[in-house]
Structure 1
Amino acid sequence: MAQFFEFMLGLLKEPAIMVGIIAFIGLIAQKADVSTVLKGTIKTVMGFLILGFGAGALIGALNNFSTVFIEAFGVHGVIPNNEAIVALAQEAFGYEMALIMFFAFIVNILLARFTPLKYIFLTGHHTMFMSMLVAVILSTAKIEGTLMVAIGSITVGSLMVIMPALAQKYTEKVMGTDQLAMGHFSTFSYLIAGFVGSKFGDTSKSTEDLNVPKSLMFLRDTPVAVAVTMALFFMVASIFAGGEFVETVSDGQNWVVFTFMQSLVFAGGVYIVLQGVKMLIAEIVPAFKGISDKLVPGAKPALDCPMVFPVAPNAVLIGFLSSFAAGLIAMAVQGAMDWTIIVAGVVPHFFVGGASGVYGNAMGGRRGAVLGAFTQGLCISFLPMMLLPVLGGLGLKATTFADFDFGVVGLILGWIVS
C-alpha cells in the first residue's frame, strides 16, 4: 500500500504524465481505437514536455537577466520566486505538501463531478505551490499532522475549481470557446486585467492590429520582436553592471556575446512555448470529451497561463513590459517609504504580466493590455510584501511567493488561523 501511495505521489509530481493519463482516460472513455489512444496520449505528453522545455529556456534566460539587473542598479530586497520559496520549505513541510497535493486532486475531481464547477485543474506545479503555502500557514497556527492534511486538501482542492470559475467569463472571451479554463493561481491578476481593460480600453484597437512602419515590419514576427526587445533590455543592464560582472554570470563568455545569445535563447523559449501550447490544446480538448461524456459530465481542463499566449502574441510582450514597469515603480515607492523592497521578478512579470496583457487586450484592446497588465503588476509587487509576516520564520528569507492568488489566499488563511 505504501509503495502504491508513493507511486501515485510520483505521478502527481510529474504534470506531463498526469496530463497524459487524463488524455488516456478520456480517449478510452470514448472507446477510441488503440492507434488513436496511443497517438493522443503521447502527443499530449509531448506537447506538455515541449511547453516545459520552452519554459525552462525562458526561466534560465530571465534568471540571468535578473542577476545582471540587480547588480546593475544596486537593488537589494526580497525576490518573489515560487520555486525558491518551496525549495526552502521542502525540508520542513515536503511530506505534508505531497499529501495535501495528492488529496487535493481527489477533492478537485469530486467537486467537478458533484457540483456545477466542472473544472479539472491540470497545472501540477501550481497545485504544489499552493499546497506548500497552505501547509506553511497552517503550521504557524500549530495545526499539524492529519488535521493539516485534511484542512489543506479541502482548501487547495476547492481553490482548484473556484479559481478557474472566477476567471471563466474573461477566459471564454480570450479563447473564443467555453471548453478551456485558466488553471493558474494568478486568477486575480487576470480578473483585474480584464476588468480594467473593459472599463478603460477600446476593443476596436487590438494589440494584434498595430500599424508597424515598413522599416520595422520584422517586429510583426513575434520571436524576432521578443529577441530585439530583450536584447535592448539586457544590453542596458549589462552596460550598467559592467562587462566583468556579466562574465562571472556567463562563466567567462564574452559579455556582449552572452547578452545577445541570452536574448535569442529567451525568444526561442517563447517560440517553443507557443508550439507546445498548440500541440497540447489540439490533443487535450478532444480527449477531454470522453471525460466530459462519461466520468465528469461537462468537465473542462484548466491549463497553465501560456495557454493564452498564441491568441495575442503582441499583447504578451506589451503586458510583460507594462507589468515590469509597474514592478520598477513599486520598488521606487517601497524604497522611498523605507518598506521591504520586493524586487521586480522578471519571471512572474513575464508569465503573469504577459497573460494579463492578453486578458486586457481581449476586454479593452491596446489600452486595456497596457493598463490591465500595469495595474496587476502593481498588485503583485505589493501583495508579497504584505504576505511576508504571515509566513512565520519562512518570511525572514530573501524570497517569497510570487503570484496574486498566493497573496490573497495566504492573507485570508493567515487571518483565519490567527
Structure 2
Amino acid sequence: MQLLQDILTGIANNVFSQVPILIGLIALAGLLLQRKPFETVVAGTVRAIVGVVILTLGVDIFTGGLVSFQAIVSSAFGLEPPTATSTLNDFLAGTGSAVPMIIALGFAVHLVLVRIFPAARYVYLTGHLMFWMSIVIAASLVEVFTDIPRTTLIVAGAVIIACYWTLQPLWIAPLMRRVVGHDQFGLGHTSSTVALMAGYGSRALRLGDPVKHDSEKLKLPRQISFFKDINVSTAVIITVIMLVAIAFADSGIVQEQMAGSDLLPWAWGLTQALRFAAGIAILLFGVRMFLAEIVPAFKGISDKVLPGTKPALDIPVAFPKAPTAVMIGFLSSTVVFLVVMAVFATAGWFVLVPPMIMLFFGGGAGGVFGNAVAGWRGAVFGGVVNGVLLAVGQWITWGLYGDTAPELGTLADPDWFAVGWLLIGAAHLLAPLGGVAVWVVTGAVLVVTVAVLALLGRRAARTGTSPATTAATTSATASPTAPASSTTASSTTVSPTATTPTTGGTHE
C-alpha cells in the first residue's frame, strides 16, 4: 500500500504539478498515436513544451509584480491581513498530504468517465489547478468530517474532483465556443463560475451588442488612440495604479517589496509596471505557440484512445481573442474589489486582502466572456462580478476553513467558493448520518455526474449525431445572442492561431 501511495504521489508531484511536463507527455502521446515521423514527433513535442514554458515565464513576470502591488495596496489602505490559528502549510504537512494521491487517482477516474461517456468530451489538462481544487475538496471534507480516515479522504476526494474535472468544461462550453469561435479545445479553469455569470448575466441584462460594442473595436479620440495597443495601455494603466499606491503606502512596506533595490520608489514602480506589460505580451505569445502544437497533437488521443475528446486548457487560451476585454475586466474587477474592501474596513466587518492574481485572471475571464456577449459593457460587467465574488467569497470562506487552510479564502478563484460551499453545506446537512455521510455525499456527486452525462448522450442519440457534433450544435444554439456568423464558424475548421490579436502584442 505504501508503495502505491509513493507511486501516486510521485506522479502527482512530477507530472500533474509540472505543467510543461504534463503537456509535453500529452503532445508526445498524441503524435506517436498518429504515427508521425520521428522528426515531427520531436519538433511538435518540444514546441508544445517551449510554448508552455514561455506562457509560464510571462505569468511569473507579471504575477511577481502583482504580489508586490497587493502588499502595497493593502498598506495604502492601512489594513493588516487577517490571522488564523492554522495555515495552508500546516494542512498540507498533515491531513492534506493526501492531496497528491487524490489528484492521481482522481485523474484516473476522470479518464474512465470520459472513456465511458461520449458526452464527456473534454480531458482536463490544467495541471496546477488540479492541485488547488483538490486542496479545496480535501479541506472541505476535513472541516466537516474531522476524523475522516486517510483512505476514505483519498477515495472520496478523488471521485468528487474527477466529477468536477469532467463537468466543468461542459457547462462553460457554449460560451467558450462563442469566445474563441470554434470547438477545437475547451476551458479547464476555476474561473468558470464568473465566466458563466458574465456571459449569461450580460445577456439577461441586455447590456449591449457583441459586434457593435466589441471591446476590440472601440473608437477612441486620436489623442488617446495609443490605448488600442494592449501593450501600451497595460503599461500606462498599471504605472498609474502602481505610482498612486506607492504614494499612499507605508514607506517601510514599499522598501520591503523593493527588496534592496537602489532605485527610487517611483522608478521601481515604473519598472514593475513595464515588466507587467512585458509579461502579458510574453504570455500571449506563449499561448499562440502552445495552441499551435497541442491541438493537432491531441488529435491522436482523440482518434485512438479517447474518441471524440478535446483538451480543456487554462484560461489564457481565451485571452488573445480579446486582449482589450481582458484589461477592462481586470481593471473593473480591481476597482470594485478595492471599493468593497474600503466599505468592509469602514464597517469593521472583515479585513479583505486584494488578491491581485485572481483579480487579473478572474477579471480577465469575466471581461472576455462578457465581451463575447455584450461587448465592452459586458466586459465591465464581468469584471464587476469577479470583484464582488472575490470580496464576499473571501469574507465567507476565511471562517469556513478556520481549522484547515483559511488562506484558501484569499487565494481563491470563484469555482473554489462554489464547489467548497456546496460540499461543506451538503456534508453538514448529512453529518448526523455519521461515518456513512461522506459516502452519501460522494455517491450523490457521482450519480448527478453520470445522470448529466447520460442525458447528454441520449440527446445526441435522438438527433442521430455524434456527441461532438451535438456539442457544436448545442453550443451554437445555446450561445447567448449568437450572431449568424457564429453558426458559420462552427462548420469550419479554425486554426488555433486564429486567436492572434490584431491590436499589438500562475496559482493561475
For each residue in 1:293-324, what CA deviation from the matched residue of structure 2 results, as whole angstroms up to 9, or x when unmatched?
Answer: 11111111111111111100100000001111
**Does the 8 Å CA contact 1:100/1:152 hold for their aligned counterparts?**
yes
Deviation at 1:215?
2.4
- CA distance in 1 between counterparts of 2:423 and 2:409 reads 20
- CA distance in 1 between counterparts of 2:11 and 2:302 reads 23
Task: Specify the code of the residue in structure 1 equivalent to 2:39.
Answer: S
- Between stretches 143-152 and 385-394, larger displacement belongs to 385-394
**Does the 8 Å CA contact 1:123/1:302 hold for their aligned counterparts?**
yes
Identity over the aligned pairs, expressed in percent?
33
For residue 74 of structure 2, what is the aligned residue in structure 1?
70
Deviation at 1:365?
0.4
- CA distance in 1 between counterparts of 2:411 and 2:74 reads 19
For residue 386 of structure 2, what is the aligned residue in structure 1?
376
**What is the DSSP-based 3-state SS (H/G/I as helix, E as strand, rest coil) of the residue aligned with 2:311?**
strand
**What is the DSSP-based 3-state SS (H/G/I as helix, E as strand, rest coil) of the residue aligned with 1:393?**
coil
The 1:340/1:395 distance shift into structure 2, 3 A limit, reads farther
- CA distance in 2 between counterparts of 1:45 and 1:207 reads 32
- CA distance in 1 between counterparts of 2:87 and 2:50 reads 28
Task: Specify the code of the residue in structure 1 equivalent to 2:150.
Answer: G
Task: Specify the code of the residue in structure 2 equivalent to 1:201.
Answer: L
- CA distance in 1 between counterparts of 2:149 and 2:184 reads 39
**Does the 8 Å CA contact 1:111/1:118 hold for their aligned counterparts?**
no
The answer to whether the aligner puts 1:155 opposite 2:173 as a matched pair is: no
- CA distance in 2 between counterparts of 1:249 and 1:329 reads 24
Task: Specify the code of the residue in structure 2 equivalent to 1:296.
Answer: L
- CA distance in 1 between counterparts of 2:308 and 2:408 reads 43
Task: Specify the code of the residue in structure 2 equivalent to 1:62.
Answer: L
The answer to whether the aligner puts 1:18 opposite 2:28 as a matched pair is: no
**Does the 8 Å CA contact 1:101/1:127 hold for their aligned counterparts?**
yes
The 1:78/1:114 distance shift into structure 2, 3 A limit, reads farther
For residue 496 of structure 2, what is the aligned residue in structure 1?
none
**What is the DSSP-based 3-state SS (H/G/I as helix, E as strand, rest coil) of the residue aligned with 1:74?**
coil
Counterpart among 225, 240, 252 of residue 232 in structure 1: 240
- CA distance in 2 between counterparts of 1:125 and 1:398 reads 15
For residue 393 of structure 1, what is the aligned residue in structure 2?
403
- Between stretches 181-190 and 70-79, larger displacement belongs to 70-79
- CA distance in 2 between counterparts of 1:148 and 1:255 reads 48
Deviation at 1:118?
1.1
For residue 114 of structure 2, what is the aligned residue in structure 1?
112
- Between stretches 26-35 and 377-386, larger displacement belongs to 377-386
Deviation at 1:16?
1.1
For residue 137 of structure 1, what is the aligned residue in structure 2?
140
- CA distance in 2 between counterparts of 1:98 and 1:396 reads 20
Task: Specify the code of the residue in structure 1 equivalent to 2:136.
Answer: L
- Between stretches 326-335 and 30-39, larger displacement belongs to 326-335
Deviation at 1:122?
0.8
Matches within 5 A, 1:265-414: 265-394=275-404, 400-414=410-424
- CA distance in 1 between counterparts of 2:404 and 2:220 reads 48
Runs (5+) with no aligned partner, structure 2:
429-508
Matches within 5 A, 1:92-241: 92-115=94-117, 116-140=119-143, 141=145, 142-199=147-204, 200-202=206-208, 203=210, 204-241=212-249
For each residue in 1:92-149, what CA deviation from the matched residue of structure 2 results, as whole angstroms up to 9, or x when unmatched?
Answer: 2443000001111111211111111111111111110111111112122122211110
Q: Which has the larger radius of gyration?
A: 2
- CA distance in 1 between counterparts of 2:112 and 2:394 reads 32
**What is the DSSP-based 3-state SS (H/G/I as helix, E as strand, rest coil) of the residue aligned with 1:394?**
coil
Deviation at 1:12?
2.0
Counterpart among 39, 42, 45 of residue 38 in structure 1: 42
Task: Specify the code of the residue in structure 1 equivalent to 2:115.
Answer: R
Task: Specify the code of the residue in structure 1 equivalent to 2:52.
Answer: F
For residue 48 of structure 1, what is the aligned residue in structure 2?
52
Deviation at 1:13?
2.1
The answer to whether the aligner puts 1:260 opposite 2:264 as a matched pair is: no
Task: Specify the code of the residue in structure 1 equivalent to 2:319.
Answer: F
For each residue in 1:160-192, what CA deviation from the matched residue of structure 2 results, as whole angstroms up to 9, or x when unmatched?
Answer: 011111111100000101121111112111000
Name the TM-score, length of structure 2 as normaliser.
Answer: 0.78
Name the TM-score, length of structure 1 as normaliser.
Answer: 0.94
**What is the DSSP-based 3-state SS (H/G/I as helix, E as strand, rest coil) of the residue aligned with 1:341?**
coil
- Between stretches 390-399 and 254-263, larger displacement belongs to 390-399
The 1:245/1:395 distance shift into structure 2, 3 A limit, reads closer
